[in-house]
Amino acid sequence: MPESLSAKCACGAVTANLTGPFRDAMGCHCETCRRQSGHYVAATQIDADGLQLLTSDRLKWWDASETAKRGFCSECGSLMFWREDGSDRMSVFMGCIDQPTGIKLTTHIFLEEKGDYYDV
């Protein structure tokens, strides 16, 4: 697994460097992830200190729930980050990480909320 990776949104307005160690990716099938992404998401996780934002003028944080915020590009809508309030960990959505990531998707969560149109 790499020591560091780079990330950017679809339009390139939000860019970041990520420092590991990186957790294996988890697929999240919760209703919020599915609605916000259009399907389901996969995310790795790092220490929050490991996120270095390079360009973030367009980064917007949405208070998705009482306990967590979701960071996305307000220009192109790319989902990038998820952070539980007060946590020293930061989830980074796999789709915004430049390849090769060296990270594997190994687990799935919130399967009880998954869409009825696919199987895991």
Which residue ranges make up the site for Zn ion (CB under 5 A)? 9, 11, 13, 28, 30, 33, 73, 75-76
Residue 90: which residues within 8 A CB-CB, separation 6 or more? Answer: 45, 46, 47, 48, 50, 51, 81, 82, 83
Nearer Cβ to Zn ion (102/107) = 107
Report, in Å, the least distance between residue 22 CB and Zn ion: 18
**Is the CB of residue 38 less than 8 Å from the CB of residue 72?**
no
Nearer Cβ to Zn ion (49/61) = 61
Residue 118: which residues within 8 A CB-CB, separation 6 or more? Answer: none
Report, in Å, the least distance between residue 3 CB and Zn ion: 26
Report, in Å, the least distance between residue 59 CB and Zn ion: 9
Nearer Cβ to Zn ion (3/39) = 39
Nearer Cβ to Zn ion (33/42) = 33
DSSP state of 22: P
Tokens found for residue 19: 């420092």
